[in-house]
Amino acid sequence: MSCWVVPALAAEYWGVSVETVLAGIRSGDLRTREEHGFTFVDVAPAEANVAPEAPPPPTFSVVTRAELAALSDDEIVDPETNDEASLADWREVRRETSMRRKPPIAA
């Protein structure tokens, strides 16, 4: 996949001087393109057709109910067997919390 950057960033990426990159642009050795008056250099032209060797590792792991129970002292509620009684609990707590809230200071 191509990666287009300005010549100064290409020089930093490759570890060469900016003059070396500009000389490559003038000689036509580097792939370039012009957009809105700026010159861009392709710093990864050889990687365009390279497929990843292996799929990336997962970014998360699933926690089982047993693992969650071991990590937590709270009772684990199964969302599939959730009933209306458990919904009343959070509503009551919210009502109590709203009563303790400080109102904004009047201007």
Instruction: List, for the chain, all residue ranges whose pLDDT scores fall below the cut of 70.
Output: 1, 46-53, 74-88, 107
Full DSSP string of 61-97: -PPPHHHHHHH-SSPPPPGGG--HHHHHHHHHHHHHH
What pLDDT, in 10s, does the model give residues 49-76? 445 567 777 888 888 888 888 887 766 6
The amino acid that residue 21 corresponds to is V
Tell me the β-bridge partners of 9: none
Assessment of whether the complete model's pTM goes beyond 0.75: no
Q: Please return the burial class of 75, using the count of CB atoms within 10 Å of its CB with bins 0-12, 13-18 and 19+.
A: exposed
What integer pLDDT is reported at residue 66 of this predicted model?
84
Angle at which helix 7-14 crosses helix 18-27, to 10 degrees, equals 110
What integer pLDDT is reported at residue 50 of this predicted model?
47
What integer pLDDT is reported at residue 72 of this predicted model?
78
C-alpha dihedral sign at 23, 26, 31, 37: positive
